[in-house]
């Protein structure tokens, strides 16, 4: 049952980050034939990172908060 708490802590950390940065939540939508997940993508990443990082809910929360930012910085930007 502890893994559920860690996943929820990571998800909530990611949700808090999305709200603090934009003051809003971006809903999922289709744009140019592609699915843009919006805040749901961040929640999925936050939950996964929160579960994988540590066995503490506080660490899981802050890992979810920083998880999507870290992944964005690791992916190279395609220049057009």
Q: Dump pLDDT digits (tens) for 5-18.
A: 999 999 999 999 98
Q: Report pLDDT for 5.
A: 92
Mean of the per-residue pLDDT values for the chain?
A: 86
DSSP class of residue 1 equals -
Q: What is the pTM of this model?
A: 0.79
Residues 33, 5: Cα–Cα separation, whole Å: 35
Q: Does residue 76 carry a pLDDT above 80? A: no
Q: Does residue 29 carry a pLDDT above 80? A: yes
Residues 18, 14: Cα–Cα separation, whole Å: 6
Residues 32, 39: Cα–Cα separation, whole Å: 19
Residues 13, 57: Cα–Cα separation, whole Å: 10
Residue 53, class by beta-carbon neighbours within 10 Å (0-12 exposed, 13-18 middle, 19+ buried)? Answer: middle
The residue among 72 and 24 whose pLDDT is bigger is 24
């Amino acid at each position: 049952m502890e893994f559920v708490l860690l996943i929820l802590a990571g998800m909530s950390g990611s949700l808090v980050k999305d709200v603090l940065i934009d003051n809003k939540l971006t809903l999922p939508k289709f744009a140019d034939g592609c699915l843009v997940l919006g805040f749901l993508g961040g929640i999925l990443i936050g939950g996964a990172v929160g579960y994988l990082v540590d066995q503490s809910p506080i660490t899981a929360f802050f890992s979810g908060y920083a998880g999507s930012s870290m992944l964005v910085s690791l992916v190279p930007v395609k220049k057009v």
